[in-house]
Structure 1
Amino acid sequence: MTTAPSSPNTTHELTVRTDDGADLAVTVLAPLAGTPSAADVVLVHGWAHTRRVWGTVADRLIRAGHRVVLYDQRGHGASTLGRTPVSVERLAADLAAVLGETDARESVVVGHSGGGFAALSYAATSPSASRLRGLVLLGTAAHGQDTPDSEVKMMGSAVFSKALRRPWLGRKLLGSTMGKDVDPVVRDVNRQLFAAAVPRVRAEFFRCTRGWDVREALKSVTVPAVVLHGELDKVIDIALAQTLAEVVPGARFEAVPDAGHMLPLERPLLAVSAVSELASR
């Protein structure tokens, strides 16, 4: 369901109900008054994060004239889980629902990590993918995400969640997810997001990519793409991102020096620049 379109300089909150009963919490940000009109941008966060991760990115985009749509993936933040099991295909359908309900046409979709999985699956398989203007893919891959049982178990552990709620310990536990010289405040935002995620949801999401491989389907995608990946990413191997860029026709790959996995927090302006590159085509 939705309500009336937003007016200039407004934040519009709505709920998108999926066909399996999940309620997705969505924010639509209108561009600042007086800025030139630019393409719509849809921001899809990674697992154990929420739309909060896009704060700097969204702010810069609306200042550049973009209408920005951001939402909490199912089970995260203010969004609920639906009736069907979590899968990448299900998350792609959620993205399609958000695009449709917000009337985001000719949009650039920016996906980080698991949000990138959803964006790739949508671009490769959805009949409505023609509405896309471009893809910005941050710290993500098209295959190879067979999360081991030990990591899935940790993500679902109440002990892990309790540790994450202790600032110094949580930052240490998540230290390997980020690169060099990251502001401690930014590191703590990452910790807060992980700590707030429901343990069962974290585990279900990290488990759902076992055997997932969308490379073959991506060969027919004609949407332009920019693939950005931290050189120090220890969550998703940079070689997988390079393969992704090779599979998607015409994609541009860029390795980000000194950055880790959390590019929306570590290098938000690179995401903004990539959107501008695609929106201007």
Structure 2
Amino acid sequence: MSDRQDDFERGLKNRRSVLGEAWVERSTAGANAFNAEFQDFITRFAWNDVWGRPGLDHPTRRLLVLGMTMGLARWEEFELHCGAAVRASQQPGSGVSLVQIKETLLQGAIYCGVPAANTAFKIFVELLKKEGIAVEPAPLTPARRVATHQTFSLPQLHIALQGAGPGAPVVLAHALGLDVDMWDDLADELAAAGHPVLRYDQRGHGRSAVPAGPYTMDELVDDAARVIREWGVGPVVWVGLSMGGMVGQGLGIRHPELVRGLVLANTTAQYPEAAKAGWQQRIEKVEQGGMTVIADMVVERYLHEAYRREHPAKAAALRAKIQHADPRGYVAACAAVAGVDWLSRLPEIKAPTLVLAGALDAGAPPSMAEAISSRIAGARLVVLDEASHLSVAEQPQQFAALVREFLQRV
């Protein structure tokens, strides 16, 4: 077989991988005396010479094509590639997700124009429906609208506010390496139920400032206190997971006047010495190789194996979030987390407290949750089955129900 024919076969393989067997068969079967040379040309040069290059993977090239065809208003080509991307998003290990497609179109609104984005989103939603993918309604009620700004004092922290009902105000505090997006679904639900909801990116995370580290847990607690004071609607019900739960314990101890109730999920009040050594090793890995070197490990700790297998797109989105975290902020916050030491002071907490643990959580096992709940008067401990560290993602309905029930009691 000649090199030219090899190029054609390699290009045809890439073309089938990206667009699907059925479409490629129809396209090549329709070749005629006028377009056969063109089909040969694009298969060799576009699908082999470009799509076959090693510098970018296929998911990245898919998203680039969506942005380019959107900008050029080549809607037939856009629909072809968008449909292929939507179908690929439903296949485990495809490397492309519906969230990534949505984000590509949102960015296109800035660089290609709102009219182009309007058409692109219309085609995208129609393709979702065609493929039988549920498109849940999300009416733009006041409870769902999110206002964002930065704190006035330094370091500046990114704030997201929604809801304006009569219910108890709620602050949601995220886990290490994540940001406000971690709470999207719960924030919507609580706001719709009449609770003013505040989320913020902790220092070194998301869209907040990244001051020089290492950070201390007291600094993270002081950040939380000034966020609540600047919001001006306290005392609040604090819902914190992992690092957010550590900050919540500190608030209950050092700033009790700001706390109406505490939900402490998948967290600890103190690490044993062996675990502290593990944190130092993690810090050194990130300092030497960046976030990519620990991304898989963090995902495996945050989501248990069965969940990752059943929800590959969500696991991939979490991995991408970890990989894009600022390594400077992550390392600085690791120091604060490793040094958490509230255990002996937990009896000082007087606010009603709900402690949540995941039965499969290796990083903050139920024994750590029991150590917290046993030292806070009246605290309730609930262990969630089929949940590891990121229980709000793995068991969202049960997590939300427990929080709603708690809010009715405080």
Count matched residues.
261
Contact 1:147 1:207 in 2 (8 A): no
Matches within 5 A, 1:228-247: 228-247=356-375
Letter of the 2:162 counterpart: L
Q: CA RMSD in A?
A: 2.2
Contact 2:225 2:258 in 1 (8 A): no
Counterpart CA distance in 1 for 2:212 and 2:286 is 21
Structure with higher strand content: 1
Residue in structure 1 matched with residue 402 of structure 2 by the alignment: 274
| Residue 152 in structure 1 maps to residue 283 in structure 2 | yes
SS, match of residue 195 in structure 2: coil
SS, match of residue 276 in structure 2: coil
Q: Which runs of 5+ in 1 are unaligned?
A: 1-6, 165-169
| Residue 161 in structure 1 maps to residue 259 in structure 2 | no
Deviation at 1:241, TM superposition (A): 1.2
SS, match of residue 143 in structure 1: coil
Deviation at 1:259, TM superposition (A): 0.8
Counterpart CA distance in 2 for 1:135 and 1:141 is 14
Residue in structure 2 matched with residue 27 of structure 1 by the alignment: 160
What TM-score, normalized to structure 2? 0.59
Deviation at 1:14, TM superposition (A): 1.6
Deviation at 1:178, TM superposition (A): 1.3
Residue in structure 2 matched with residue 135 of structure 1 by the alignment: 262
Larger-Rg structure: 2
Residue in structure 1 matched with residue 327 of structure 2 by the alignment: 199
Deviation at 1:104, TM superposition (A): 3.0
Which of 165, 171, 177 is equivalent to 1:48? 177
Label 1:179 to 1:252 Cα distance change in 2 as closer, same or farther (>3 A): same
Counterpart CA distance in 2 for 1:192 and 1:133 is 35
What TM-score, normalized to structure 1? 0.85
Deviation at 1:247, TM superposition (A): 1.0
Counterpart CA distance in 1 for 2:292 and 2:270 is 31
Letter of the 1:123 counterpart: G
Identity %: 26
Counterpart CA distance in 1 for 2:397 and 2:288 is 34
Label 1:173 to 1:85 Cα distance change in 2 as closer, same or farther (>3 A): closer
| Residue 263 in structure 1 maps to residue 391 in structure 2 | yes
Structure with higher helix content: 2
Label 1:41 to 1:147 Cα distance change in 2 as closer, same or farther (>3 A): farther
Deviation at 1:107, TM superposition (A): 1.7
Residue in structure 2 matched with residue 13 of structure 1 by the alignment: 148
